[in-house]
Chains A and B, each alone.
Chain A
Amino acid sequence: MIEFWTILIIKTLVAFAVSMLIVAYSTWIERKVLGHVQLRYGPMRVGFHGLLQPIADGVKGFFKEELIPDNADKPVFLLAPIISIGAAITLVVVIPFGDTVTIMGHKIPLYLADLDIGILFVLGISTIGSYGGMLGGWSSGNKYGVIGGLRASAQMISYELPMALAVISVVMVSGTLSLVGIVENQAGLWNVVKQPLAFFLFIICGLAEINRTPFDMPEAEAELACGFNVEYSSMKFALFFMAEYCHMFVFAAMVTTLFLGGWYGPLLPGPVWFFIKTFAIIFFCVWERSTFPRYRYDQVMELGWKVLLPAGLLNILLTGLWMLVFNI
């Protein structure tokens, strides 16, 4: 019993620390890659090539003055960043980092929980996370904030459907909702080969769900002066920021798990492959940000409902037909 709890606690702490470290250094990756794409260096002053910059930013966040607007709905204003970061970190629980390993005679699976309903858990909790941005925008009593919050919720509702449809076709070929099961099913052939359309749909909808360019409607700087987080300062702003990068990490991990074969790969151990693939997706997120301009709001909605949703339905139909014809 004691052994079970010790292993569980150590695993939780390690998973938490690793994800927070990745979140912190995703900001560094983003700034460096964006910088080099735009023919500048990015952060250079703090540490070697700005390696200590995330830590300096964190310290700065803690020491800055905190402002709460008079017009704000105070309890909700305080709650919003907590919902955002809380939901984002909760998602780390179901990520399968690797297969079972044996350390000092103990068999330790490299994931915190293998839920039967793993993928549904991810979809459900990530929706809850979007309450953060929505309520944050509404409670600050600022019109830009409210518009940003409204956009966040509208975008969430519109892109969750095609995303779930893409996931359904993966579940159809895997025959399980458990993330570990889905990875184990890809031992021979990755799902990206079996489900190329679902892969594209998932990437596009995922970018919209984590509010990245070209879908960063809720905080479009040019029109909304930063949108839902416009009234937030100091650590509360940093929490929103961290939640965004944590969502990006979870999104990259989900793409890896659902489509890129999770921890499977030749020569190197499982977790190394997992992180190589995950960081490739994170790099992709930054790369496309520096390449594509932002969509207009009505275009975002049109793409979601008129293109992605029918494509998702079509993909399910094709998958079903394929499974029926080849009798899988």
Chain B
Amino acid sequence: MELIILLICGGLTIITSLLVIFARNTVHSALWMVASFFFMAVLYLLLQAEFIAILQIIVYAGAIMMFIIYAIMMLNLRQEERAPMRKTKVVGVVALLVLFLELLVVAVGRGLLAIKGPVTDQLMAKFGHIAVLSNFLFSDYVLPFELASILLTAGVVGAVILAKQKSE
């Protein structure tokens, strides 16, 4: 039962997140984001984290998205805009390949220097809380960690590009 809900809501989270990026209309993409927050809240519920689930809805779906949609409505962005193809895309692809290679190297080479075995109190006492956490972050969870960092970098670069285009 829980597995079915997990699969459905996980899938819908991914689909709605993709639609946030691919929707041409800005308000639609904001709305897909609200939907994706809702499905994420269900995932938190499945983890027995009621409080985080409702915070997800109050803070993200309620307050932050409300501000974002407010801003979009003030800007009156109803026309769909199509970005033209650019030569810089080649540079982008090369950068992507380099990042992918880096990821591959890290993923293959992971765990060589890592502390082995499960987290225990003795381990905590020996290395300290943050040391153990960062150890796991860079060994077992290195792939999600790297992916998240790439995503954040892409977001920052994208924001700079969008802002630059306007000022040219």
Contacts and interface: CB of A to CB of B under 8 A. Distances in A.
The answer to whether A and B come from one shared complex is yes
Interface of A: 73, 75-76, 79, 115-117, 120-121, 123-125, 127-128, 130-131, 134-135, 138, 141, 146, 149-150, 153-154, 156-157, 160
Contacts of B22: none
A156 B54 CA distance: 18
B57 A73 contact: no
A154 B57 contact: no
Contacts, number: 65
B67 A120 contact: no
A121 B61 CA distance: 13
A113 B61 CA distance: 22
A149 B69 CA distance: 11
A138 B66 contact: no
Contacts of A153: 66, 69-70, 73
Contact of B34 (A120, A125, A131, A160): A131
Contacts of B34: 131
B3 to A, nearest CB: 20
Nearest to A146: B73
A138 B57 contact: no
Nearest to A126: B62
Interface of B: 25, 27-28, 31, 34, 50-51, 54-55, 57-58, 61-63, 66-67, 69-70, 73-74, 78
Contacts of A156: 66
Given A76-B28, A149-B73, A127 B51 contact: no
Contacts of B31: 76, 79, 135
Contact of A115 (B50, B57, B69, B74): B50
A157 B25 contact: no
Contacts of B70: 134, 150, 153-154, 157
Nearest to A139: B27
A196 to B, nearest CB: 26
B60 to A, nearest CB: 10
A292 B55 CA distance: 36
Given A124-B58, A125-B57, A117 B69 contact: no
B70 to A, nearest CB: 5
Given A73-B27, A76-B31, A134 B58 contact: no
A76 B25 CA distance: 11
B57 A128 contact: yes
A80 to B, nearest CB: 10
Nearest to B41: A124
B58 A120 contact: yes
Contacts of A123: 58
Contacts of A124: 54, 57-58, 61-62
